[in-house]
Amino acid sequence: MKTGKLNVKQMVRAVTAVAVSSLLLSCASAPAPEPKSNEFKLTVVHIDDHHSNLAAKQKTLVWGEQEWQVEAGGFPRVGAKIKALRATNENVLTLHAGDALTGSLYFTLFGSEPDARMMNNVCFDAFTIGNHEFDTGDAGLAKFLQQLGTKRCPTAKLGANIKPKVGVSPLTPESEWQMFQPYTIVERDGEKIAIIGLDIASKTKKSSQPDENTEFLDELETARRYVSDVQQQGIEKIVLLTHIQYERDKELVRQLPGVDIVIGGDSHTLLGDFSDFGIESAGPYPTVLTNANGEKVCLGHAYEYSLVVGELHARFKGDKISECSGRPHYLLGEDIQVSEGIVTTYEPIKTALEKSGVFSFVEPDPELQSMLEDYQSKVEEFSAEVVAQVPQQICAQEIDRPRREGCADTLSSGAHRLVAEAFLHSVPMADFAIQNGGGVRADINQGDFTVGDAFTVLPFANTLVKLELSGSEFKQAMEEALAYSVSDGGSSGAYPYGAGIRYSVDLTKEKGSRVSNLQVWDKGSNSWQPMTARATYIMVTNSFIAGGQDGYDTFYRVSERGRARNTGIDYAESLVNYARAQKTLERPQNFATQSYVPAGDN
């Protein structure tokens, strides 16, 4: 080989050496890439328990020693706020924690269609099934789930502890998880997030109307199972979307590992500090808890009836929550009026509301407002007839709740008493009437009482049922309902209110001994007479508890033995007819409950 010449191998080595040198020089001069941050911020925008309340409401606020009337809520405002929050935040989840249905004339007249249309417009990432979704049986829920979600907005429908019978229930005609799933997995900024849905088990079975073969599994055990399932898939950011009540959410979190965020419903819980405006809340928003692993958990609820949108911010460090923050948005219109007197400017209260951190002025979303108007004229036409006058507000304030300002300072509920009186008016051959607490959903306000007001007070699809039963059977049913009202996962809405009957209740006593001094009004002698165990009575009630719901198991057995007759009279229609006959609805002065000792007094 001659000197001064390179062979091929030498040339390759030389070129490679130059390239490597250049690369090393380039690396030395370029800044080193920053390590990827292990922090991740998630925003959860949420509502719950809107109960077909699609139109705005008039609300009273107390500020500056005056009362103020404001227009609040409505689904067009809900949609506008949710869309605005999505536009101004990254990594957003939009969630609905159940009970979308039943509770207004929109549902009474049009079923689930208006709710589904509006929810599809807003576009929820996930919706968990609530107990009232079963108010028209599995078939009614199946119809709603088919309406909910579009190609543009494939809302995940969740219910991990709901088990319809495959091949029997309309929810599972061919296979399990046919119309809803136990959980869904979404991705935000490369992070996978699991959302697990839970419904309140005992209350749904006993206080709604699912098909007989549909089962509801224990919430805690179900949550443990599916938290473990998603963790085995390598997913550690876990959201529970629950419809099991605020206090039970807190209990669940303390017993569960792995959970980071809980968005809940069912208890209609208002969170945040509203004290400057005469409104009580149940706790801070968000409520910060610790799970079974000792790790931070963010909990949010968003009240009821399309009034509030929750905005929850969760900051993760790795897969664990490092910070919870956020606020509720109680949705208001710009029009504010003082209830009494004259003010020269409204700016001070508007400024106070804007700075409150809990109220938001929101213009309704035009698309949603247009949808609402498709139904609104028919609702208004149906509901407009005035049937009575109300000199003083008659409140629906259940027996164990704090007495509200402006309501009568009585042990029991005036609205429930009037409803029971209406039942007796429609079925005059009955000896007495019973109405459960949860079936009356609104106050009877001062002023004109309309057909629409009656259907707002009694919004469910119930009819009046006559039952022929003995005194001992009635006593047993009362004991069952009271036991259910104080049980874990039960409902205080099971408490009985009546007319033509009276009794004393002591919840500190054992089941079977909580009801005493039962008396029935004797029409012949115009006097109260003791209820006797073997005597036969005719009772009128709503079809919901006549079918054994809310714990009234004995009523169901009486019905099964052929001693019940459905009158076909809508229970709200009975209130309309009673109001029309009375012309004036006065506050009741006498109540079925003569004395009451709550369970906490033990």
Closest CA to 396 of 450, 423, 433, 436: 436
The span from the CA of 95 to the CA of 93, in Å, is: 6
φ/ψ (deg, to 5) at 463: -120, 170
Q: Please say whether the beta carbons of 98 and 266 come within 8 A.
A: yes
The span from the CA of 130 to the CA of 119, in Å, is: 15
Closest CA to 210 of 250, 180, 170, 173: 170
Q: Which helix (H) or strand (E) holds 240?
A: strand 237-243
The span from the CA of 252 to the CA of 602, in Å, is: 25
So what's the architecture of 42-378 in CATH? 4-Layer Sandwich (3.60)
- What pLDDT does 20 receive? 36
Here the tokens at position 394 are 């008659």
Closest CA to 593 of 484, 528, 473, 496: 496
Reduced to 3 states, what is the DSSP secondary structure of residue 403?
coil
The span from the CA of 492 to the CA of 600, in Å, is: 14
Taking CA atoms, 61 is separated from 277, 336, 346, 422, in Å, by 6, 10, 14, 32
Taking CA atoms, 243 is separated from 129, 172, 197, 279, in Å, by 7, 21, 8, 24
Handedness of CA 515, 519, 521, 527 (dihedral sign): negative
Secondary structure of 130-191 in HEC code, one letter for each residue: CHHHHCCHHHHHHHHHHHCCCCCCCCEEECCCEECCCCCCCCCCCCCCCCCECEEEEEECCE
Q: For residue 218, give every residue at least 6 positions away whose Cβ sits within 8 Å of its Cβ, in sequence order, or none.
A: 161, 201
So what's the architecture of 384-601 in CATH? Alpha-Beta Complex (3.90)
Alpha carbon 275 to its chain centroid, in Å, reads: 23
Q: Please say whether the beta carbons of 48 and 264 come within 8 A.
A: yes
Closest CA to 103 of 153, 165, 45, 49: 49
Q: For residue 59, give every residue at least 6 positions away whose Cβ sits within 8 Å of its Cβ, in sequence order, or none.
A: 69, 70, 71, 72, 73, 307
Q: Please say whether the beta carbons of 299 and 289 come within 8 A.
A: yes
Q: For residue 530, give every residue at least 6 positions away whose Cβ sits within 8 Å of its Cβ, in sequence order, or none.
A: 518, 519, 520
Cis peptide before 286 (omega within 30 of 0): yes
Q: Map tokens 């705005």 to a residue.
A: 56
- Averages of pLDDT over runs of 10 residues in the chain (602 residues) are 40 40 42 68 98 93 90 98 97 98 89 97 98 93 98 97 98 97 97 97 86 96 98 97 97 96 96 93 97 97 97 96 98 91 87 97 98 93 94 90 81 93 96 95 94 91 91 97 88 92 96 96 95 97 91 91 86 95 95 92 59
Q: Which helix (H) or strand (E) holds 253?
A: helix 246-255
Q: For residue 400, give every residue at least 6 positions away whose Cβ sits within 8 Å of its Cβ, in sequence order, or none.
A: 492, 495, 598
Handedness of CA 283, 284, 287, 289 (dihedral sign): negative
- What pLDDT does 281 receive? 94
- What pLDDT does 462 receive? 87
The span from the CA of 187 to the CA of 380, in Å, is: 43
Here the tokens at position 24 are 């090393």
Angle at 275 between CA 62 and CA 397, to 5 degrees: 75
Spans of all domains in the chain: 42-378, 384-601
Q: Maximum Cα–Cα distance for the chain, whole Å? A: 138
Reduced to 3 states, what is the DSSP secondary structure of residue 6?
coil
| Burial label, 138 (beta-carbon count in 10 A; 0-12, 13-18, 19+) | buried
